[in-house]
């Protein structure tokens, strides 16, 4: 038997057919085409699922369960998306709508939580029971696995890790607060800091590396650092210090067996991980170095959300 995992994003609807070995054997992707009504979005999900099924050479009769990771807060007990500003959902019964169309039980979860669950099952968190995943992208996402289960709090809104404050009254965040982890440690924040440094240092090698401000990305300052550019080094040093502060908070709160970082910047490898390990080891509340949580990099990439969603049924007692 196979499971279907769906990663519903603001840009794309991604569907994967996943076998019992956590391998995506076929997939399909369609544009989400926002804004549009939920009925049209669910039609798009069904269309993508049918394409993936056809690619795999199977039918819905071969599917054990279907799970979906969605932006926003999702009530996993009812399949209802309580709120998602990206999709325009509020108290939207996504699970029952899809069940009516596909004839299968649908399991709904926040997308970052689904991705964390995927890493726990088959990625960097495999073999551990307590895992925290932080993703560095447009924002700072997070997922928390405690004793093999996704933690969401009593109201399914827990683990918004990017919106913990690391600098009181600091930079404005999109959530309305100031000084959030996300405002300092997302790829968006790094890009903004890189552009500011370039404008303040017109002789910086980052101008040659990027070509123009419009082409600055999360790699620009790291490339500048490797080119021994002083402005780039300052950007990266500050970025890693803030990131280390936020990650140390996560360790102090959860003390997971392993803390995983995901997102494009993880391609920097030891340039990122080594100094972060040093910061966490120095600053975290743990007197025994042998009991320090491990720090690692997510392994599943964009497949984490699909794999995690595909096995959400395991978190339900009635499944």
Q: Which two tokens stand for residue 274?
A: 């080594």
What Rg, from alpha-carbon coordinates, does the chain have? 20
The reply to whether 145 and 263 lie within a common domain is yes
The reply to whether 277 and 156 lie within a common domain is yes
Structural domain for 158, as ranges: 129-297
Which pLDDT tens digits describe the chain residue by residue (319 residues)?
899 999 998 889 999 999 999 999 999 999 999 899 999 999 999 999 999 999 999 999 999 999 999 988 999 899 999 988 878 899 999 999 999 999 999 999 999 999 999 999 999 999 999 999 999 988 898 999 999 999 999 999 889 999 999 999 999 998 899 999 999 999 999 999 999 999 999 999 999 999 999 999 999 999 999 999 999 999 999 999 999 999 999 999 999 999 999 988 888 999 999 999 999 999 999 878 788 999 999 999 989 999 999 999 999 854 4
The reply to whether 257 and 149 lie within a common domain is yes
Give the containing element (helix H, strand E) for 120: helix 111-122
The reply to whether 106 and 221 lie within a common domain is no
With contact defined as beta carbons under 8 Å apart, do 73 and 156 qualify? yes
The reply to whether 194 and 282 lie within a common domain is yes
The reply to whether 63 and 204 lie within a common domain is no
pTM to 2 decimals? 0.90
The reply to whether 53 and 68 lie within a common domain is yes
- The CATH number of the domain holding residue 173 is 3.30.420.40
| HEC assignment per residue over the chain | CEEEEEEECCCEEEEEEECCCCCEEEEEEEECCCCCCHHHHHHHHHHHHHHHHHHHCCCHHHEEEEEEEECCEEECCCCEEEEECCCCEEEECHHHHHHHHHCCCEEEEEHHHHHHHHHHHHCCCCCCCCEEEEEECCCEEEEEEECCEECCCCCCCCCCHHHCECCCCCCECCCCCECEHHHHHCHHHHHHHHHHHHHHCCCCHHHHHHCCHHHCCCCHHHHHHHCCCHHHHHHHHHHHHHHHHHHHHHHHHHCCCEEEEECHHHHHCHHHHHHHHHHHHHHCCCCCHHHCCEEEECCCCCHHHHHHHHCHHHHCCCC
Q: Which two tokens stand for residue 114?
A: 């689904």
The reply to whether 290 and 243 lie within a common domain is yes
The reply to whether 292 and 310 lie within a common domain is no
CA–CA distance, 112 with 141 (Å, rounded to integer): 6
Q: How far is CA 277 from CA 126, 226, 239, in A?
A: 20, 20, 14
Q: Which two tokens stand for residue 41?
A: 């979005």
**DSSP class per residue in 253-305:** HH--SEEEEESGGGGGTHHHHHHHHHHHHHHSS-S-GGGPPEEEE-SSTTHHH
The reply to whether 278 and 162 lie within a common domain is yes
The reply to whether 71 and 195 lie within a common domain is no
Domain count, the chain: 2
The reply to whether 281 and 148 lie within a common domain is yes
Partners of 172 in beta bridges: 178
Measured N-to-C along each axis, helices 230-254 and 187-200 cross at an angle, to the nearest 10 degrees, of 150
CA–CA distance, 165 with 185 (Å, rounded to integer): 11
């Amino acid at each position: 038997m196979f499971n279907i995992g769906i990663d519903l994003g603001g840009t794309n609807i991604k569907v994967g057919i996943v076998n019992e070995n956590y391998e995506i054997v076929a997939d399909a992707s369609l544009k989400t085409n926002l804004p549009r009504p939920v009925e049209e979005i669910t039609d798009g999900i069904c269309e993508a699922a049918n394409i993936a099924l056809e690619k795999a050479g199977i039918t819905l009769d071969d599917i054990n369960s279907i799970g979906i990771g969605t932006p926003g807060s999702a009530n996993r007990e009812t399949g209802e998306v309580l709120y998602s500003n990206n999709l325009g959902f509020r108290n939207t019964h996504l699970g029952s709508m899809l069940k009516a169309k596909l004839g299968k039980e649908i399991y709904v979860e926040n997308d970052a939580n689904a991705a964390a669950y995927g890493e726990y099952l088959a990625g960097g968190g495999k073999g551990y029971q307590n895992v925290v995943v932080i993703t560095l992208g447009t924002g700072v996402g997070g997922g928390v696995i405690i004793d093999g289960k996704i933690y969401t709090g009593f109201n399914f809104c827990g683990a918004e890790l990017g919106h913990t404050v690391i600098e009181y009254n600091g930079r404005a965040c999109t959530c309305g607060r100031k000084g959030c982890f996300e405002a300092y440690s997302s790829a968006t924040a790094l890009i903004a800091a890189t552009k500011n440094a370039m404008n303040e240092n017109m002789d910086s090698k980052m101008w040659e590396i990027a070509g123009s401000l419009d082409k600055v990305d999360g790699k620009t300052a790291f490339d500048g650092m490797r080119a021994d550019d002083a402005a780039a080094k300052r950007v990266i040093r500050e970025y890693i210090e803030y990131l280390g502060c936020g990650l140390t908070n996560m360790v102090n709160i959860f003390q997971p067996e392993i803390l995983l970082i995901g997102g494009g910047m993880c391609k920097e490898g030891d340039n990122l991980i080594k100094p972060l390990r040093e910061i966490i080891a120095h600053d975290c509340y743990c007197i025994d170095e042998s009991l320090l949580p491990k720090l690692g990099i997510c392994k599943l990439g964009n497949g984490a959300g699909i794999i995690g969603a595909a096995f959400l049924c395991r978190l339900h007692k009635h499944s």
